């Protein structure tokens, strides 16, 4: 069974958290073992990060940028991979974001996380509270990620 990390930041309304739960739901239904980490609650341990087969990253739009907790992860990742890239590069990854109407975070998210590995599916974006259509897109992303690591 492949392992999927859903690494996200959610702080204001729980909008990004609702998307993360839907990604996890889709991935679990497709047979993956899923771990959810909210960077608003804990800093992601980069050594733990190495052991996951795939990852879904989710961020709210904060000033047309990713949330600070995810930026901290990216900084930790960059420094760690310089001395030992094992388990840090070349992972299948998917993206999702929520915003209040501007939504420019999507472009930043796609650019920043392109260094993580091979992108799976399309970036799921939600304006405000995710509705059923967005949640289904998130479940589909989870299924696609689970499929990408099937047999691991």
| 96/148 with CB nearer ligand FMN | 96
Which residues in this chain contact ligand FMN in the complex, by CB under 6 A?
A: 10-17, 60-64, 98-103, 128
| 90/129 with CB nearer ligand FMN | 129
Contact criterion met (CB below 8 Å) for 117 and 93: yes
We find the least distance from the C-beta atom of residue 31 to ligand FMN, in angstroms, to be 27
Residues 6+ apart with CB under 8 A from 47: none
| 15/144 with CB nearer ligand FMN | 15
The secondary structure of the chain, three-state, reads CCEEEEEECCCCCCHHHHHHHHHHHHHHHCCCEEEEEECCCCCCCHHHHCCCCEEEEEEECECCECCHHHHHHHHHHHHHHHHCCCCCCCEEEEEEEEECCCCCHHHHHHHHHHHHEEECCCCEEEECCCCHHHHHHHHHHHHHHHHHCCCC
We find the least distance from the C-beta atom of residue 1 to ligand FMN, in angstroms, to be 28
We find the least distance from the C-beta atom of residue 107 to ligand FMN, in angstroms, to be 12
We find the least distance from the C-beta atom of residue 122 to ligand FMN, in angstroms, to be 19
| 115/129 with CB nearer ligand FMN | 129
We find the least distance from the C-beta atom of residue 129 to ligand FMN, in angstroms, to be 8
| 104/115 with CB nearer ligand FMN | 104
């Amino acid at each position: 069974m492949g392992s999927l990390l859903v690494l996200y930041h959610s702080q204001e309304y729980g909008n990004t958290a609702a998307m993360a739960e839907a990604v996890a739901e889709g991935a679990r239904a497709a047979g993956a073992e899923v771990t959810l980490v909210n960077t608003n609650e804990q800093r992601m341990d980069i050594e733990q990060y190495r052991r996951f087969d795939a990852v879904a990253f989710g961020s709210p739009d904060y000033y047309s940028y990713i949330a600070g907790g995810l930026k901290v992860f990216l900084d930790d990742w960059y420094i760690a991979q310089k001395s030992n890239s094992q388990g840090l590069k070349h992972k299948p990854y998917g993206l999702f974001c929520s915003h209040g109407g501007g939504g420019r975070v999507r472009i930043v998210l796609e650019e920043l996380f392109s260094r993580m590995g091979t992108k799976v599916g399309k970036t799921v974006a939600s304006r405000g509270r995710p509705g059923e259509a967005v949640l289904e897109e998130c479940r589909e992303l989870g299924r696609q990620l689970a499929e990408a690591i099937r047999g691991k």
